[in-house]
Amino acid sequence: MKLIAGIDIGNATTETAIAKIYNKNIEFIASGIVKTTGIKGTKENIHGVFASLNQALKKGKVDINDLDLVRINEAAPVIGDVAMETITETIITESTMIGHNPSTPGGVGLGVGYTVNIKSIKNMQEKQPSIVIIPRDVDFLEASSIINEAIENGIDIQGAIVQRDDGVLINNRISKVIPIVDEVSLIEKVHEGVKTAIEVAPVGGVVEVLSNPFGIATEFGLDSYETKMIVPIARALIGNRSAVVIKTPKGDVKERKIPSGKINVFGKKRKMNVDVDEGASVIMDVLRECNPIEDIKGEPGTNAGGMLEKVRQVMANLTKNHPNSIKIQDLLAVDTYVPQKVKGGLAGEFSMENAVGIAAMVKSDRLQMQMIADELEKEIGIKVEVGGIEADMAIRGALTTPGSNTPLAILDMGAGSTDASLISKDREIKSMHLAGAGNMVTMLINTELGLEDKDLAEDIKKYPLAKVESLFHIRHEDGSVEFFQDQLDPKVFARIVILKEGNMIPIPVNESLEKIRMVRRNSKKKVFVTNAIRALKMVSTTGNIRDIDYVVLLGGSALDFEIPQLVTDRLAQYGIVSGRANIRGIEGPRNAVATGLVLSYGEVKKNE
**CA–CA distance, 215 with 212 (Å, rounded to integer):** 5
Q: Work out the burial of residue 269: count CB atoms within 10 Å of its CB; fewer than 13 is exposed, 13-18 middle, 19 or more buried.
A: exposed
List all residues 6 or more positions away from 96 whose beta carbon is below 8 Å from its beta carbon: 245, 246, 247, 248, 251, 252, 253, 344
8 Å CB contact between 130 and 154: no
Q: Is 165 part of any known ligand binding site? A: yes
**CA–CA distance, 278 with 259 (Å, rounded to integer):** 10
Q: Is 557 part of any known ligand binding site? A: yes
**CA–CA distance, 394 with 267 (Å, rounded to integer):** 27
Q: Is 590 part of any known ligand binding site? A: yes
Q: Is 419 part of any known ligand binding site? A: no
**CA–CA distance, 504 with 496 (Å, rounded to integer):** 9
List all residues 6 or more positions away from 131 whose beta carbon is below 8 Å from its beta carbon: 111, 112, 113, 114, 115, 116, 158, 159, 160, 161, 196, 198
8 Å CB contact between 185 and 348: yes
The neighbour count for residue 68, using CB atoms within 10 Å, is: 13
**CA–CA distance, 433 with 420 (Å, rounded to integer):** 7
Rg (CA), the chain: 30
N-term to C-term CA, the chain: 15
Q: Is 117 part of any known ligand binding site? A: no
- Of 32, 34, 36, which is closest to residue 79 (Cα–Cα)? 36
Q: Kindly state the greatest CA–CA separation across the chain.
A: 105
Helix (H) or strand (E) holding 166: none
**CA–CA distance, 6 with 553 (Å, rounded to integer):** 20
Q: Is 182 part of any known ligand binding site? A: yes
**CA–CA distance, 531 with 543 (Å, rounded to integer):** 15
Q: In which region does residue 8 sit, left (phi positive, over 0), alpha (psi from -120 to 50) or beta (all else)?
A: beta
8 Å CB contact between 14 and 40: no
Three-state DSSP class for residue 608: coil
- Of 186, 184, 137, 141, which is closest to residue 160 (Cα–Cα)? 184
Q: Is 354 part of any known ligand binding site? A: no
Q: Is 11 part of any known ligand binding site? A: yes
**CA–CA distance, 230 with 404 (Å, rounded to integer):** 58
Q: Is 458 part of any known ligand binding site? A: yes
- DSSP count for the chain of H helices, then E strands: 16, 29
Q: Which parts are annotated binding residues for Mg(2+)?
A: 104, 165, 182
Q: Which residues are annotated as a binding site?
A: 11-13, 104, 165, 182, 458-461, 556-557, 590
Annotated binding-site residue numbers for ATP = 11-13, 458-461, 556-557, 590
